[in-house]
Structure 1
Amino acid sequence: MSVVVLVEVEEGRASLVSRETLTFARSLGAGDLHAVVVGEAGEAVVADCREMGVVVVHEAVDPALERYAAAAWAAVVEAAGRAARANVVLAPGTGRGMEVLAHVAARRNLRMAANVVAVESLDPLVVQRQVVGGAALERATVDSRVRLMTMAGHAVDPKPADAAGEATVSRLAVAVDPRDLRAQVARVEKREQADTSGLTGARVVVGAGRGAGGPDGFSAVDALATRLGGAVGVSRVVTSLGWRPHHEQVGQTGSRIAPDLYLACGISGSIQHWAGCASSRTIIAVNTDPDAPMVTKADYAVIGDMHEVLPAVLEELG
């Protein structure tokens, strides 16, 4: 029995959520751990995989794969699964991970469990997974001969294996079918502002909503996020009013975050926003309304004006 994990690469390294997924895969006790990388697995990615206990890194190198195409990536994952004789295939619960594994499931007529946070049994497959935008957990039994799962972001902390793996690099022979390239990334345009990777990967997020009062009401929010080494997140109304860019939006139509700490300031806490932040380990709400949904759902709350509370916190931190 073996496990194959799709490893996504960011800035030449295995992404944080990929390392989390490798850690999660080890906890299944399902045998040898394999990784699959679309493109050439560089030395840093191989080193990351070795540290996480991977025995083989399967790479697929083809000019046709240089631009992301979900169906083509699915073919690569299938090839890695065959090479490893995998019983379990995992992917990070990112946009790409979810899309690629959904393609694998459709091509192989298999069932897939999405946003898994825990596995109770592999035979039969019984999982706990996030539903309703992360606002609730569902216990589900999945009948499938190959277990396909995406892991919810930050369900576990990334931890090196007790013993490093060999991480032998194996080149997959994948003939890219032109039909799998019918939908692919045409071009990538970089934002002048930071993209959402800083927000979704942050361990601390300082959020602000209508209570900020306007575009000029974010100075303390920005300062506190910088002081804590975190990122800024905002509610939908803030982006709708044009106060902050959309890539900072947290919620059902924005980014879903799972930091160690989410400090929600002046945010009422609609169900759409809660869907994006419910996976946070600790939520502290700062709000003048003691009955605001964010206050009632938070782990801790400070009843007060964010424009008074945040400067006081910054002064205390020094």
Structure 2
Amino acid sequence: MIVLLDDHTDASRQALTLARKFGEPRAIAMDAFEPFAPDALASAIVALDPTAVIGPGTERGNEVMARVAARTGLPFAANCTAAEPGSPVTVTRLRWGGSLLEEARLHSARPLITVAPHTVPADTGPPPQPVEVGAADQRDLVVCVSEHVQPSNGGVSLAAAKVIVSGGRGVGSKEGFAIIEELAGLLGAAVGCSRAVTSAGWRPHSDQVGQTGTKVSPEVYIACGISGATQHMAGLKGAKRIVAINSDPQAPLMLNADYTVTGDLKEIVPAISAEIRKRR
């Protein structure tokens, strides 16, 4: 049996594309246990004795798959962009925050693979048949979600936002984010930031975009005063359009953006907000 770890999102439909290379999968829902309990899911997957397990390369997908690997003592290939069945299985995966692709061979009788989001087309075929799971062992419920904290960005989730306005070190201070929040409010956008900003204590970690923060896939990502370190760029791979505002035209993010504005963000961002208000 091929098992797909399914969170009912595009990320799982992308994982399904690779899963179907190995056979017709059955799906086990990420929310099979409420609240979310990764050990309970891992235990249920192992009990099915699958021939392969494929899941989305999300925070929860990687967490569950790592626990499956620990329970079975098998290797786990995370954040893959391609996989070919065989003995051994050949995989291509993202490394170094997505700055390079690694081709590797997975020597395992039971391949455990997660698929990097937004790197594989989503499967458009019929959904796989679900797998019913029994009650969880109480010992597998020790680690579980205990509370959901409302994000500080007005309830707009970074992961789901269609537009994100992000600020970096160039914003200058915690108070400097007032103009970022103003623009985000006018656009109905979420507020994001770089790791330098959270390290300085200007914004909470929940606002951080990047490899060690949230990986995003908005229609438009507006980066204000962000240089574009590798770990930050790793979180933007799903963005459809990137607009960069920076005083340094040679900043990495400026060189990778679809649209750029060179200048002082403290003048440019308020000017954009004023123009939006004028047109309403």
1:176 aligned residue: 137
Query: How far 1:152 moved relative to its partner?
Result: 1.3
Q: Distance in 2 between matches of 1:264 and 1:39?
A: 34
RMSD over equivalenced CA pairs, Å: 3.3
2:85 aligned residue: 122
Residue 198 of structure 1 aligns to a residue whose secondary structure is coil
1:3 aligned residue: 2
Query: How far 1:247 moved relative to its partner?
Result: 1.0
1:63-78 to 2 correspondences below 5 Å: 65-78=33-46
Residue 237 of structure 1 aligns to a residue whose secondary structure is helix
1:152 aligned residue: 116
Tell me the TM-score normalised to structure 2 length: 0.80
2:6 partner amino acid: V
The equivalent position to 2:98 in structure 1, one of 134, 137, 149, is 134
Contact 1:253 1:272 in 2 (8 A): yes
1:228-307 to 2 correspondences below 5 Å: 230-278=189-237, 280-307=239-266
1:47 aligned residue: none
1:61 aligned residue: none
Residue 157 of structure 2 aligns to a residue whose secondary structure is helix
Report whether the alignment pairs 1:18 with 2:12. Answer: yes
Query: How far 1:75 moved relative to its partner?
Result: 0.9
Contact 2:118 2:237 in 1 (8 A): no
Query: How far 1:196 moved relative to its partner?
Result: 9.6
Query: How far 1:25 moved relative to its partner?
Result: 3.7
Change (3 A) 1:143 1:166: closer
1:245 partner amino acid: P
The alignment of Structure 1 onto Structure 2 pairs a total of residues equal to 276
Q: Distance in 1 between matches of 2:156 and 2:10?
A: 10
**Structure 2 unmatched ranges of 5 or more:** none
Q: Distance in 2 between matches of 1:175 and 1:109?
A: 21
Change (3 A) 1:281 1:138: farther
Q: Distance in 2 between matches of 1:38 and 1:252?
A: 22
Post-superposition Cα deviations, 1:255-308, rounded to whole Å, max 9, x if no partner, equal 233445432211123344334335545433211112323324445432122234
2:253 partner amino acid: M
The equivalent position to 2:159 in structure 1, one of 179, 183, 200, is 200
The equivalent position to 2:149 in structure 1, one of 184, 190, 202, is 190
Report whether the alignment pairs 1:101 with 2:86. Answer: no
Query: How far 1:107 moved relative to its partner?
Result: 2.1
Post-superposition Cα deviations, 1:27-69, rounded to whole Å, max 9, x if no partner, equal x4333231102555xxxxxxxxxxxxxxxxxxxxxxxx54444
Residue 235 of structure 2 aligns to a residue whose secondary structure is helix
Post-superposition Cα deviations, 1:192-224, rounded to whole Å, max 9, x if no partner, equal 635998212334432111322334444553354
Query: How far 1:100 moved relative to its partner?
Result: 1.3
Change (3 A) 1:38 1:212: closer
The equivalent position to 1:35 in structure 2, one of 4, 22, 27, is 27
Query: How far 1:94 moved relative to its partner?
Result: 2.0
Query: How far 1:101 moved relative to its partner?
Result: 0.9
Contact 2:38 2:144 in 1 (8 A): no
